[in-house]
Amino acid sequence: RGHFMIYTVTLNPALDKTVEIPGMALDTVNRITEMRTDPGGKGINVSKVIAKLGGESCAAGILGGGSGKMLEKLLEGEPFATRFHFVEGQDALDGEGLAHNFRFVPGETRTNLKVIDPENHTNTDINEPGLTVTDADLDALLHELLAELRPGDIVVLAGSLPKGAPQDTYRVWTSACKKAGARVFLDADGALLAEGIKAAPYLIKPNDDELSRLAGKKLETLEELTAEGRRLLERGIERVVISLGGRGALYLRKGSTIYAEGLKVPVGSTVGAGDSVVAALAYAEAQGLSEEEAVRLSTAAGAANVMCSGTQAAEREAVEALLPKVRFSRLRP
């Protein structure tokens, strides 16, 4: 195949059940007025956004039980969704698609309940623990992925790990995918990020809090954050993107620091905004867009997805409308 493929990996996916309960109260019966169920999990969210941007990706991950089957069905119902089995020599999908390759294991994929109370303006998440994986499950999925990878492909490793997965899973996967010539984007937090960084992924996207935890000290100013980001570049990471919430983001690479201001948009839901930024960066990388185009696209995609409610991905038109509004400046490297 002539172009680079993007693979997203979600080892701990979930069915996201979003419900509305006006005036939710404890210790009494609550009635749901509206509900929707979406396939969830960071890597899957990244794939959804890439499809909306007009790109292709293949979502890989681990599912289980009836809820896992339902998640797979929902993904196939997404616009342009298609089955894509890993067959040697077979080209990836024609056109767009939420292609996927999930491995089924015993147990049930978790269902995460998101309770929105429009009267009290609260958002409450009630997350199930999810299934337990074995080393054999993880190894089998990794080997299927490695069999597909071509040099230059992009692998997005995102989100939490299921029970049974060792803490250094992302380090092992990053290292193996790099050996296959892939560019690894790692979006994880805490110990998972600290471990993954040891294998020097191509790109990481911590927010200011995550970067502070990694550094072991509170980083507040752009200078402090940039200095810490630079230290990570010295460890062999090629791109460090630091998201600052409403303040925007810092984009670091060797010899270049760009600060993009946050776009002021009406907030629908901040859920998945970070995933949209990762999706836009992966799409930009696969398409060979310039550094400045990548900054514009990821800033606009993040903001467009904040305007959306729940876990739906913003349409490309919404992203395009915000592109001209993105303002950024180059800081001294």
Active site residues: 275
CA distances from 198 to 175, 201, 212 (A): 9, 8, 17
- Classify 139 as helix, strand or coil: helix
For residues 56, 61, 64 and 70, what is the CA-based torsion angle, rounded to 10 degrees?
-20
- Classify 315 as helix, strand or coil: coil
Tell which residue, 200, 177, 322, 193, has the closest CA to residue 264. Answer: 322
- Tokens 């600052």 -> residue: 244
Distance CA 157, CA 177 (A): 10
Helix, strand, coil percentages (3-state) for the chain, rounded to 5, are 35, 25, 40
Beta strands 6-10 and 56-63 are: parallel
* Under 8 Å between Cβ of 64 and 104: yes
Query: For residue 165, which amino acid is it?
Result: A
- Alpha helices of 166-315 — where are they, by DSSP H? 169-179, 190-197, 208-215, 222-234, 273-287, 291-307
- Alpha helices of 27-157 — where are they, by DSSP H? 42-53, 65-77, 135-148
Q: What are phi and psi of 176, to 5 degrees?
A: -65, -40
